Structure 1
Amino acid sequence: MEKLKSIVPSTLKRMVIESTLDDLPSTCSSLLEFLLHRELFHKIIRELADPQTTLCGKNKDAALDSKQKGNECFLSGDYMKALSFYSQALRVAPMDANEKEKNLVATLYVNRASSLHKMGLLVECLRDCNRALLISPCYVKAWYRRGKTNASLGNFEDAVRDFNVAMIVELSSSGKRQIQSELESILDKYKSTSSSLDQHSGNDSCIIDEPCQIKLQCISTPTKGRGMVSLGDTPQASLVHTEEPYAAIILKHCRETHCHFCLNELPADTVPCTSCSIPLYCSQHCKVQAGGKVLRNYPKNYGIHEILPGDIEHYIVQIFSVNDSDSDVECIAEHRHECQGVHWPAVLPSEIVLAGRVLMKLIEQRRHSTDIYNLLETLELSHNYVQMLPESKLESHIYAIVLLYCLQQSHGFELPINGDSISQLVILVSQIKVNSMAITRMKFINDDGTLDQSRKFTLSGGALTSNMEQVGQWGCKDRQWFLQDEYSFKCECSGCAELNLSDLVVNAFRCVDSNCFGIVLENGVFMCEKEKIKHFQDVTKICSSEPRCQVDMLKNDDAKKFAHHAFERNDGSLHIEPGYCMNCGSHHDLESLNATVNEAGIYIRRLQEAVVSRNISTTTLSDALRSLGQLRSTLHTYNKRIAEVEDNLAQAFCLVGESQSAMEHCKASIEVKIL
């Protein structure tokens, strides 16, 4: 969208940047009118939403090319690469494409099943065989591979049935002889076993966390709107509450590794969308739930000869009835309006595509009402439009206009596109930024294992909240910056608002005195911790007539060991300065310390690149070990950077076959992270 931003006149840009909520309809209308008279805007919409220029649709030639590469890798014994090429071919292969009078998708599933079988992934192999048979019920290779897989799993009864079906549908005499040979071998094994495993369903058992019996109460806070708080104590590591998100989307960096519906890690046998090449799913069930098109055109008699022994006919019906069990699932249409092969869902930012999903779900729930104002009003979400950065305001205006035109073209009916509707979508984008984070009350656990009850909580406001992002390894400064930048939110949980040892050491330097364990803070961390202290002192002045030192938040032993000098004053105040040891008070040159860390980082990055390429030389390892020594002499013992480098070295030694060294570095990393 940079090109569109660059052509917006400065006067109009200033109007958007300075706009308030009341100004939104006017600024949106002005920007829309300007863009509609620009060919660049229409060109971008065509590139994003025109089915004739699709880049994310199916492509038979691309599928055949990947299939050929997969075949070459399979013949050379590189089954992992073959698996990757077959999966890529499945992603772009049209469902109705044929190759040598066979359905291309069914062929690819069987080819991938062969790779999975060679790799020992038998359950995944069985699922791919079932998918191939769902498309081509008379596919001999699918029945044959299914029989071989069931035999490997010890399901000899099913294997015999699979080979019997393969015998019936195989037309050539040579093929029948090969199947007969396998069948006789399986029959000998089957007779020697008294039972077999029944895995028709293919469903894995799972353990579901049950929520604790904890009373929750809805609250409202000025900064975050509605939320919930526990009225009693919450056991550690307990599931308090679960609910389905109104809409969800996978982040771009996870698209190739995680299911686009349930967000779990993808298995080896990924399931692509039927009609486009964007999403990958972990199962047929997730694909159907996502709202993509469902294949239902296979024949009711499954294409198998009518003259079959009764037990085999029942067996076939049972297999297909299990695979067809998702056809009646009530779909959440989160991907349906994107499933046209157009590439706007792939290139627009995730939060913009998510806004489109929210809007389309609202429209479908309201029986295709296109009154955007009333639809979005029902969400009752908080937003941060007034606090948005100037550039973000302009971007949200442009993205809202582009998204509405893309949705209109993809969905097939007219959406109102005017100042009012665009302004509501701009607000929705800002709402998504604020409301896409889970809010909860986090009870702070003291070092002795007791609950910290010093911070009182009132239901009227000031909720103790904490984000559920993976930011636990970050320092307080980084956490606060991330929350403010991404969500316009200031976390006020006790872990973020009060002094604690982990925030002091996570990015700290060590004292130059080898016998001193003191903490040395750089300026950015110092300012953040200083704000905590100021806030704490202001609170204690209001709440108590006696000064209280924040050393109470730390173990006395830790305070003496790491920050004795900082807490030595009798008036309850703290003595902390950047570049000074908090234990002995000695001064350190922060510029020199940072230079040492940066120099060591060069060799650590080389090690990381070598680990990725699996080409680790002795020189790379020795340089990294020397750099680790530099870091240990510069950074505090509990600095997270040391733990990360120990992890890198453990992985490197593991790859070169030095298990003992890998174990030692693993232990060293764990010792750092124990804090």
Structure 2
Amino acid sequence: METLKAAIPEGLKRMIGDSTVDDLRATSSSLHSFFHHFEPFHQLLTELVDPKHALCGKSKDAALESKQLGNQCFSKGNYANALDFYTQALRKAPFEDGDMENNLVATLYINRATVLHKMSLLTECLRDCTRALQICPSNAKAWYRRGKANASLGNYKDAMCDLNMAKTVESSLNGKRQIESEQKNIFDQCKSTSTVRQRKENTLTTVGEVPQVMLQCVAIPEKGRGMVSSNDISPGSLAHSEEPYAVIILKQCRESHCHYCLNDLPADRVPCRSCSVPLYCSQQCQTQAGGQVLRIFPEVHSIIEKLPSDLGEYADKVIQGHDSKCETENITEHKHECHGVNWSAVLPSEVVLTGRILARFLLERTSENITYFVEKLELSHCYEHMLPESKLLNHLALVFKFYVIFCLTMQVVIIISQMKVNCMTVVRLKSKDACGLSNQFGDFPSCPYLTSNVEQVRVGKAIYKAGSLFNHSCQPNVHAYFISRNLCIRTTKAIPAEGHLELSYGPQVGFWDCKDRLNFLKEEYMFQCQCTGCSEVNLSDIVLNAFCCVNSNCFGAVLDSRVVNCEKQKIKNFMSHLKIDKNDDIHKVLNQNDASHHIQPGYCLKCGSYRDLVPSRAAVDKALIFIKRLQDAILSKEILNTTIADALRSLRLLRSNLHAYNRLIAEAEDNLAQAFCLLGEFQLCMDHCKASIKILEKLYHPDDIVIAYELVKLCSIQLSVGDGSAMDSINRIGDIFSCYYGLHADLVFPYLQYLRR
């Protein structure tokens, strides 16, 4: 894309950069005409679509090479690497290669199942054996391995059936004897076991909660459309739930998350049958995305017919399992970009989403034209407010799409701009650094925890038709989260009837100062935010980056010129119209009577004392150097006493120059908490963790979700040292999560169950 962009004549670039919606037909035509006669562009297209140069085509030779590397790792006992190589081989192996007895894909599934069994990943092993049998039902090794996995899981009845099938299809006498020996072992295990373990099912896949709130879209003069409720809504109510209209995984998550449902990939990940890019968490997701159904060889029926009726029914149930019969009512998103040319590997996410919407238009074979089709999506766009660079990229994407789907129209540029301002980033919550945490949530580990950091992982982008109607606020009253692909919007505050439901598109109050938020929203979404967080005074925006007063008895805030210019008018309006409760934190920071003459850079907003900000900034910059060294030491887990001592001195330096609620102090406290945890100084760790939380409670709200994330760190340390107050922290986490996630809390954040145990 960069090479093509550089080749465009400057005059054409300027014309596109200055274009309006009315100019799109001319600018699109001009760019298309240029590339139509530009030979390097056609060479690039040839390389993208020619099977010899295909981005994601299958290759038997490449698959066999990965298989051989997997075999070498397996023979050395390096099972983790063997697992990776077998998975890579499965991605590259042509599905139709080989007959029923020698199918390469089936062989790779059996190899991977063997590795999974060695790694005690028994459920995953069972699934891979089943996939191999759905391709090669007469494979004795797959039945035998499946039987051993079922036996290890305590499913003795199924294990005996699997081994009976293995013995039936096994041709060698030695092989039959080995199977009979294994059957005897299982029979003895079954007799000595007083209770038979039942197969564990994932009970967190669905949660029966349906939105009970009636929403309607209304016109809002300053914001366009928005969503309101016809009745009062209490906090924690599920206000909206919706499947995506189109979705795409982000490039950095291709190896770790399912390309359809966007959940974490298991060890037995499933590749696409036709290309080598996507990975799925199950055969069901693969079918939903690509539309393919597993091929079953005709010889299956002749094998089953020769079996006793009960064993035949069992074999038929395994071979013709749910995975192989999965159907989808949705448009298969990956199918049209498959077969060796996966455009998501080249084009930006917004362009791929556009392609999937256009594919939907074409596949539905609707009689309406694309202009009407786009209008029915009811997505907004801000094309004329986009930066020239963004307009140029949209036009470039249009040229690519024209050559792929033969649909040159200015509407494609509009759709791409709609993707830019309407698509939502799909995120997952992760808790990292928990020592000994497993998917099974076993006994609490005896080794001490690191502070368990909660992070949001961006995994995909999606278009939600109704979800795009919710307006933005830097102080939102609803919270958006995702169950697989499904968007859920839950209220976090009480909302009166006809009240607007607003979520946050970007950083909220307390994360960035007002000016940075305004610039971000202007650049990313092309609008000037006028929400209460940006138009009315609030404590967070004043103290987030503030300095402290030189008068040690004064709690007032000192602002630099950058913050003053943004906050000055807000503070003046606030002081002239409102009375401040003397118990309020705002009162402690502002002069209630007349702060207008104090709203100057360097002057305390409370008492008017002057602080020279030049040496103060220099002192803060010096302190941050040592805090950064501590951060690096935490990452390397090599923390020296001198590093800790320097960081503690730096913290004191920050406290003597910055306001007590400045975010930099909270971050320094958090870094020291992690460092003391690594050193085993848990009391000091808890002290600094609590100090960080105390500041964040001022920047946000004590019941904000950010506080719950920080409490996860605190309670992990409290549990490690047997502190009785850990239960209070966990209960508080549960209360906050219930408001933000409701019945979905344990599903969104499974670590919460572990903490409760």
Q: Is the 8 A contact 1:138 1:303 kept in 2?
A: no
Where does 1:293-304 land on structure 2 (aligned, <5 Å)? 293-299=292-298, 301=300, 304=303
Where does 1:68-467 land on structure 2 (aligned, <5 Å)? 68-97=68-97, 102-193=102-193, 196=196, 199=199, 204-208=203-207, 210-221=209-220, 225-299=224-298, 301=300, 304=303, 306-324=305-323, 326-367=325-366, 371-405=369-403, 407-408=404-405, 415-417=406-408, 421=409, 423-437=410-424, 438=467, 439-440=469-470, 465-467=502-504
Matched residue, 2:593: 570
Can you list the C-alpha shifts for 1:434-454, whole angstroms capped at 9, x where unaligned?
Answer: 222445367868xxx99699x
What is the Cα deviation at residue 390 of structure 1?
A: 1.3
DSSP-derived class of the 1:529 partner: helix
The count of aligned residue pairs is: 633
Following the alignment from structure 1 to structure 2, what is the Cα–Cα distance between the partners of residues 50 and 31?
24
Q: Do the aligned partners of residues 645 and 61 (structure 1) sit closer, same or farther apart at CA in structure 2, a change above 3 Å counting?
A: farther
Q: Is the 8 A contact 2:229 2:501 kept in 1?
A: no
Matched residue, 2:578: 548
Q: Do the aligned partners of residues 19 and 311 (structure 1) sit closer, same or farther apart at CA in structure 2, a change above 3 Å counting?
A: same
The structure in which a higher percent of residues are strand is: 2
Matched residue, 2:650: 630
Structure 2 residues not aligned, in runs of 5+ = 425-466, 478-490, 699-757
Following the alignment from structure 2 to structure 1, what is the Cα–Cα distance between the partners of residues 292 and 343?
18
Following the alignment from structure 2 to structure 1, what is the Cα–Cα distance between the partners of residues 140 and 550?
73
Following the alignment from structure 1 to structure 2, what is the Cα–Cα distance between the partners of residues 43 and 12?
22
DSSP-derived class of the 1:556 partner: coil
Following the alignment from structure 1 to structure 2, what is the Cα–Cα distance between the partners of residues 88 and 401?
33
Q: Aligned match of 1:617 in 635, 638, 651?
A: 638
Q: Is the 8 A contact 2:134 2:320 kept in 1?
A: no
DSSP-derived class of the 2:217 partner: strand
The amino acid of 1:247's aligned partner reads A
TM-score (norm 1): 0.82
Q: Do the aligned partners of residues 111 and 272 (structure 1) sit closer, same or farther apart at CA in structure 2, a change above 3 Å counting?
A: same
DSSP-derived class of the 1:296 partner: coil
Q: Which moved more, 1:588-597 or 1:380-389?
A: 588-597
Q: Is the 8 A contact 2:293 2:325 kept in 1?
A: no
Q: Do the aligned partners of residues 302 and 667 (structure 1) sit closer, same or farther apart at CA in structure 2, a change above 3 Å counting?
A: farther
Q: Is the 8 A contact 1:465 1:493 kept in 2?
A: no
Q: Which moved more, 1:627-636 or 1:308-317?
A: 627-636
DSSP-derived class of the 1:242 partner: strand
Following the alignment from structure 1 to structure 2, what is the Cα–Cα distance between the partners of residues 640 and 94?
54
The amino acid of 2:138's aligned partner reads C
Following the alignment from structure 1 to structure 2, what is the Cα–Cα distance between the partners of residues 425 and 370?
16
Q: Do the aligned partners of residues 465 and 653 (structure 1) sit closer, same or farther apart at CA in structure 2, a change above 3 Å counting?
A: same
DSSP-derived class of the 2:243 partner: coil
Q: Do the aligned partners of residues 572 and 118 (structure 1) sit closer, same or farther apart at CA in structure 2, a change above 3 Å counting?
A: same
Q: Do the aligned partners of residues 136 and 645 (structure 1) sit closer, same or farther apart at CA in structure 2, a change above 3 Å counting?
A: farther
Q: Do the aligned partners of residues 241 and 152 (structure 1) sit closer, same or farther apart at CA in structure 2, a change above 3 Å counting?
A: same
Matched residue, 2:484: none
The amino acid of 1:395's aligned partner reads L
Q: Which moved more, 1:651-660 or 1:77-86?
A: 651-660
Following the alignment from structure 1 to structure 2, what is the Cα–Cα distance between the partners of residues 323 and 501?
56
Following the alignment from structure 1 to structure 2, what is the Cα–Cα distance between the partners of residues 193 and 142?
26
Can you list the C-alpha shifts for 1:519-572, whole angstroms capped at 9, x where unaligned?
Answer: 4545444444346446x55xx9xxxxx7225x56xx8342355x1xxx214147
Q: Which moved more, 1:141-150 or 1:108-117?
A: 108-117
Following the alignment from structure 2 to structure 1, what is the Cα–Cα distance between the partners of residues 302 and 651?
68
Q: Do the aligned partners of residues 36 and 518 (structure 1) sit closer, same or farther apart at CA in structure 2, a change above 3 Å counting?
A: same
DSSP-derived class of the 2:88 partner: helix
Can you list the C-alpha shifts for 1:43-80, whole angstroms capped at 9, x where unaligned?
Answer: 22223333332021222333333333333333444433
What is the Cα deviation at residue 492 of structure 1?
A: 3.9
Matched residue, 1:34: 34
Q: Is the 8 A contact 1:211 1:238 kept in 2?
A: no
Matched residue, 1:489: 527
The amino acid of 1:322's aligned partner reads G
Following the alignment from structure 2 to structure 1, what is the Cα–Cα distance between the partners of residues 78 and 673?
27
Q: Is the 8 A contact 1:396 1:429 kept in 2?
A: yes
The amino acid of 1:114's aligned partner reads T
Q: Is the 8 A contact 2:666 2:696 kept in 1?
A: yes
The amino acid of 1:9's aligned partner reads P
Q: Is the 8 A contact 1:464 1:493 kept in 2?
A: no
Where does 1:9-24 land on structure 2 (aligned, <5 Å)? 9-24=9-24
Q: Is the 8 A contact 2:258 2:281 kept in 1?
A: yes
The amino acid of 1:559's aligned partner reads I
Matched residue, 1:600: 626
The amino acid of 1:440's aligned partner reads F
What is the Cα deviation at residue 361 of structure 1?
A: 0.6
Q: Do the aligned partners of residues 49 and 222 (structure 1) sit closer, same or farther apart at CA in structure 2, a change above 3 Å counting?
A: farther
Matched residue, 1:479: 517
Following the alignment from structure 2 to structure 1, what is the Cα–Cα distance between the partners of residues 497 and 302?
67
DSSP-derived class of the 2:228 partner: strand
Matched residue, 1:4: 4
DSSP-derived class of the 1:138 partner: coil
Following the alignment from structure 1 to structure 2, what is the Cα–Cα distance between the partners of residues 266 and 654?
31
Matched residue, 2:586: 559
DSSP-derived class of the 2:320 partner: helix
Following the alignment from structure 2 to structure 1, what is the Cα–Cα distance between the partners of residues 228 and 195?
53
DSSP-derived class of the 2:219 partner: strand
Q: Is the 8 A contact 2:627 2:650 kept in 1?
A: no
Following the alignment from structure 2 to structure 1, what is the Cα–Cα distance between the partners of residues 555 and 114?
58
Can you list the C-alpha shifts for 1:261-308, whole angstroms capped at 9, x where unaligned?
Answer: 222222232222111122222211111111343332433726736432
Following the alignment from structure 2 to structure 1, what is the Cα–Cα distance between the partners of residues 523 and 685?
38
Q: Is the 8 A contact 2:354 2:419 kept in 1?
A: yes
What is the Cα deviation at residue 108 of structure 1?
A: 2.4
Q: Do the aligned partners of residues 97 and 600 (structure 1) sit closer, same or farther apart at CA in structure 2, a change above 3 Å counting?
A: farther
Q: Which moved more, 1:75-84 or 1:260-269?
A: 75-84
Following the alignment from structure 1 to structure 2, what is the Cα–Cα distance between the partners of residues 287 and 227?
36
TM-score (norm 2): 0.74
Q: Do the aligned partners of residues 207 and 15 (structure 1) sit closer, same or farther apart at CA in structure 2, a change above 3 Å counting?
A: closer
Can you list the C-alpha shifts for 1:121-167, whole angstroms capped at 9, x where unaligned?
Answer: 32222222222222222222322222222122211111111122122
Q: Do the aligned partners of residues 628 and 121 (structure 1) sit closer, same or farther apart at CA in structure 2, a change above 3 Å counting?
A: farther
Following the alignment from structure 1 to structure 2, what is the Cα–Cα distance between the partners of residues 656 and 505?
32
Where does 1:37-48 land on structure 2 (aligned, <5 Å)? 37-48=37-48
Q: Do the aligned partners of residues 132 and 474 (structure 1) sit closer, same or farther apart at CA in structure 2, a change above 3 Å counting?
A: farther
Can you list the C-alpha shifts for 1:202-241, whole angstroms capped at 9, x where unaligned?
Answer: 6645442524422212113467644321233322232101
Structure 1 residues not aligned, in runs of 5+ = 409-414, 541-545, 611-615
Q: Is the 8 A contact 1:600 1:631 kept in 2?
A: no
Q: Do the aligned partners of residues 583 and 15 (structure 1) sit closer, same or farther apart at CA in structure 2, a change above 3 Å counting?
A: same
Following the alignment from structure 2 to structure 1, what is the Cα–Cα distance between the partners of residues 671 and 136?
47
Following the alignment from structure 1 to structure 2, what is the Cα–Cα distance between the partners of residues 645 and 109?
49
Following the alignment from structure 1 to structure 2, what is the Cα–Cα distance between the partners of residues 642 and 155?
55
Can you list the C-alpha shifts for 1:171-202, whole angstroms capped at 9, x where unaligned?
Answer: 223332322222111111223446645549x6
Q: Is the 8 A contact 1:288 1:326 kept in 2?
A: no
The amino acid of 2:583's aligned partner reads N
Q: Which moved more, 1:228-237 or 1:425-434?
A: 228-237
